[in-house]
Structure 1
Amino acid sequence: MLLDNLNWRYATKKYDATKKVAEEDVKKIVEAARMAPTSSGLQQFRVIVITDQALKEKIVPVAMGQDIVAECSHLLVFAAWDKYTEERIDNAYNFITDERDLPRGRFSSYTDRLKAMYLQQSAEENFVHTARQAYIGFGLAIAQAAELKVDSTPMEGFVPAELDELLGLRQMGLRSVTILPLGYRAEEGDWLADMKKVRIPEDEFVIRM
């Protein structure tokens, strides 16, 4: 049950570096992110899967010295489009129409509205929106990992500009949004592992109108 899995998971603070997540499970976690709903169906983000140990170690100082980046089995980087462009919007909808055996341009009135809305915004305003789409996939990846009993650690504690440079993301038209180490919790050394999971009570969390 999803709620049981979410209650099981926590932000793992130390990984057993000797234990690796099966590629089959990593693919399922990434697939959950790929299947995420996104605004206008544009899928404005990508997931970078990092297994190279030397590269993970280079990311540790970028991630404010957090060793879990190097200890984890796989490191997922969620990166969003740096901005909207006419080409990106057209490519997305050409793919949609091709896959559905519809004529290209079938949704041109809608894509014209998208272009009118987004292309007049600044790149930073665009990125605020695309980054929000990445977070939808990020959440689903965390939930899928929990279902597979794969530990994860949602992380915003890194310097995005430095990570973008290290991974060459700007050349891909992407900017890093958040990162997600995957692996298996260490039996010793994780100070959070045995602590009670704490969330505010439902009657305080839910506001009914």
Structure 2
Amino acid sequence: MSSPANTITTASLLERLNWRYATKQFDPERKISPEDWSALEEALVLSPSSGGLQPGKFIVVTDPAIREKLVPASYGQAQVKDASHLVVFTAKTNFGEADVDAHLERIAEVRGVPLESLAQFRGMLLGGIVNAMDAPARQAWAARQAYIALGNLLTSAALLGIDACPMEGFAPDQYDSILGLKDKGLTSVVICPIGYRAETDAYAGLAKVRFAKEDSVIHV
């Protein structure tokens, strides 16, 4: 399959990545358009995951009352309520054989192949993930998949000129309780307010600080 002709230029990509930062103040009056938000949700769904298993869900919180409740559970960080949208990345708490089978059924449906033809793949997924790990290890594995999706969301938002702030500074147990995640078989992993930076955010104009490429990238 050939590459699409309208891929982004390297200069544009790096400009967008340099433009983005962990937004400290969002403009509560600016909302993401339905079209842009729909694209970001599609980007979340298109995020890669180990084995394609997608062992979690994305909770989009827009209800102002719920988001006010989440502020104390976020150590008072106002981004949670001021941003246009809040995404809570979750992991399944008891990922198992039924989840693998659901994924295989979806493959058979989308690709039009017999379910029986996926037997070898099923064995690999069960042997490498479900049966090879105990519950805490599977939980840690599922959490790592959430971070892959987070990275995809950050880059996708930056390409659309939309700000974001990945946050680990929150109380997962309180989020799980407020959002009723336990009943859904989920637990919160990381959160990300999405919206537009406020003009008063002093961090927006600061130079991005990273180690030099030669100190960060090792060629073997």
What TM-score, normalized by structure 2, do the two folds share? 0.90
Q: Report the equivalent of 2:214.
A: 203
Runs of 4+ in 1 over 4 A off after TM superposition: none
Measured in 1, the distance between the counterparts of 2:21 and 2:128 equals: 39
More divergent stretch after superposition (57-66 vs 24-33): 24-33
Secondary structure class of the residue paired with 2:209: coil
2:201 is the alignment partner of 1:181 = no
Measured in 2, the distance between the counterparts of 1:18 and 1:203 equals: 42
Secondary structure class of the residue paired with 1:66: coil
2:179 is the alignment partner of 1:158 = no
2:58 is the alignment partner of 1:34 = no
Asked whether the equivalents of residues 29 and 142 of structure 1 are also in contact (C-alpha less than 8 Å), the reply is no
2:110 is the alignment partner of 1:99 = yes
Shift of 1:194: 1.6
Shift of 1:78: 0.8
Shift of 1:193: 1.5
Q: Report the equivalent of 2:181.
A: 169
Secondary structure class of the residue paired with 2:205: coil
The AA in structure 1 aligned to 2:178 is L
For this pair of structures, how many residues does the alignment match?
208
Q: Report the equivalent of 1:17.
A: 28
Shift of 1:109: 2.2
Measured in 1, the distance between the counterparts of 2:153 and 2:49 equals: 14
Q: Aligned ranges for residues 65-84 of structure 1 at < 5 Å?
A: 65-84=76-95
The Cα RMSD (Å) is 1.2
Measured in 1, the distance between the counterparts of 2:30 and 2:51 equals: 39
Identity within the alignment, %: 41
Q: Aligned ranges for residues 99-178 of structure 1 at < 5 Å?
A: 99-120=110-131, 121-178=133-190
Measured in 1, the distance between the counterparts of 2:15 and 2:196 equals: 18
Give ranges in structure 2 of 5+ residues lacking alignment.
Answer: 1-11
2:14 is the alignment partner of 1:3 = yes
What TM-score, normalized by structure 1, do the two folds share? 0.95
Secondary structure class of the residue paired with 2:91: strand
The verdict on how the C-alpha distance between 1:105 and 1:161 changes in structure 2, with shifts beyond 3 A counting, is farther
Shift of 1:47: 0.9
Secondary structure class of the residue paired with 1:93: helix
The AA in structure 2 aligned to 1:127 is Q
